[in-house]
Amino acid sequence: MNRKFISLREVGRRLDIPPSTIVYYKDKFERFIPSEGGGGRRTRYPVEVLEIFRRIRGMFNDNWSTEQIEHELALKFGMFMNDQQSDQGFEQPVSPGVVQDLAGVLSRMTDALDNQSLFRSEIRSLRDEVAALRAEREAEASRREEDVRVLREEVAALKRRLTAGESGGIIDFPPAEFLASPLVIASGGEYLGVQGKERKHFSLQDFVQLIERKESATVALETSWQRQDGHWVLVVRTQDGESGREQNIILVAKKTVTPSRNTVTEIIRLNIDGNDAPDALLLTLFRQLKTVFNG
């Protein structure tokens, strides 16, 4: 039978595989690659080896193990190897017992490869579960840190509010109604306040919360309340740890009933670093508050 033969260089050219890689495949899986000749450059390969090398290349690219590739070559090209051996005159009688033993070996190899694939799949699943548990644990730790931070801020705010009660052990703090009433200033015989969304009025409590938001890792803030002549006095002290700048704010407020019989909290004095704020500054302040409150 006339057969067509090619060289390893021609195999590499047709499959677009580097010559060194073709030689590596040939040496590693030599028993699955038929050839003729006396060795070296005189060795020739039947054109059918193109499919064998193409298959080897594909399995390597898919990260198959050497054992898996050998098993696949034995299954796919075993008949071709038998034909090649027959053409070369190497026919030998094979007993039924040998064939049965070989089938048993191949069956066990297949089972082993299947078990190995299943084991690797289980390992990947376990790794995914561990990664998910680790991410969940880190998220829970972050939530706990945030809860602790909020609690610390609340404790610090409570301590500041209790500062005024150090003398005599009596806590001096405005009632909730006073803090929640609309915060206003008197200008030209009228009371001006800030109304936000859903007809919610800006209150003294909202004002205090805006001030407390200035507290950070670099800015220390301390607030305290005092009762003077029936008025409530809010004292705010801030210190910037980076610049060293300090600021003192004193706000004096009282309960007022407007001509329309609305109960409000009126600012009667605002002092910043020892200087009383003029009415014009208070008006500007309330315009800015309106922008922030409705933002």
Locate tokens 């070296």: which residue?
40
The total of structural domains in the chain comes to: 3
Specify which residues 255 forms β-bridges with: 265
Query: Which of these, 271, 224, 221, 211, lies nearest to 245 by C-alpha position?
Result: 221
- Enter the pTM of the model: 0.42
* Predicted pLDDT at 56: 95
Whether 289 and 182 map to the same domain: the answer is: yes
Domain limit, last residue, from 167, 192, 208: 167
Q: What is the pLDDT of residues 127-153, one digit of tens each?
A: 988 888 899 999 998 899 998 888 888
Q: How many CA atoms lie within 13 A of 112 on its CB side?
A: 10
C-alpha–C-alpha distance, residues 279 and 256, integer Å = 18
Q: Check whether residue 235 and residue 285 sit in a common domain.
A: yes
- Domain coverage including residue 200: 176-293
**CATH number (domain holding residue 24):** 1.10.1660.10
* pLDDT beneath 70, residues of the chain: 1-2, 38-41, 78-101, 103-104, 107, 110-111, 114, 118-119, 121, 155-171, 196-199, 290, 292-295
Q: Are residues 269 and 211 in the same domain?
A: yes
Q: Is residue 51 a contact partner of residue 92, using CB atoms and an 8 Å limit?
A: no
Instruction: Give the residue from 36, 86, 76, 78 showing the smallest Cα distance to 56.
Output: 76
Is there a single domain that holds both residue 253 and residue 184? yes
Q: Which of 64, 92, 120 is where one domain is finished?
A: 92
What are the structure tokens assigned to 97, written together?
């017992």
**Residue 138 sits in the same domain as residue 180:** no
Same domain, 88 and 139: no
**Is residue 21 domain-shared with residue 86, that is, in the same domain?**
yes
CA distance to 162, 178, 253, 288, per residue, from 292 (Å): 28, 22, 21, 6
